[in-house]
Chain A
């Protein structure tokens, strides 16, 4: 089984809909991250969490929210999706500040 899983793997939705992307890990890491990847822009950090009670904004948090339900689960929500949120979303986990392990990604299309 994969150490970092993301659901769904693909999602097509309409403008204005609320969307939740989920990330689960079996690695026992405290640190979890959400990134988005856009062609030509690389990966940009949306939110990160160092434990269940710790949530921090990243570089591009506007339009997104997160929930750390447990050490192993970190969800990303788009309250009202818009087309420019169409992207590939990655969850990552890390045991320390110098390691990150990535999930397989969720491809989100907002029409």
Chain B
């Protein structure tokens, strides 16, 4: 099975500052990796995903993430955050050979301070 660790439960950041949300995974097989965003009182929306190919993945709303196999990480970054980025962010992993289940991290609450 796979697992995901999101070390930072809460990340406050000032508006227009850069942000990095950390995600580390554990797996004995090759993986697919995902970042989802959950705005207040809404469902989860896919930000970006890594399936194969380039390790730098660009997503919606100016976010990007880099897959680092040696460090088993998939950190999410944005160079300049906006108030509207305030939300909960979830990293998820799925095995490429199984793919039956997504395993989610516990989430990181990003708060953008004006």
Which A residues are within 8 Å of any B CB, using their own CB?
Answer: 4, 33, 35, 40-45, 48, 56, 58-59, 90, 92, 96-105
State whether A97 touches B99 (Cβ < 8 A): yes
Are A42 and B104 CB-contacts (below 8 A) given A98-B49, A98-B51, A98-B99? yes
State whether B94 touches A98 (Cβ < 8 A): yes
* Cross-chain pair count, CB within 8 angstroms: 52
State whether A42 touches B106 (Cβ < 8 A): yes
B residues 16-73 with Cβ under 8 Å of A?
32, 36, 42-46, 49, 51
State whether A102 touches B43 (Cβ < 8 A): yes
State whether A103 touches B9 (Cβ < 8 A): no
- One of A42, A44, A103 near B107 (C-beta < 8 A): A42
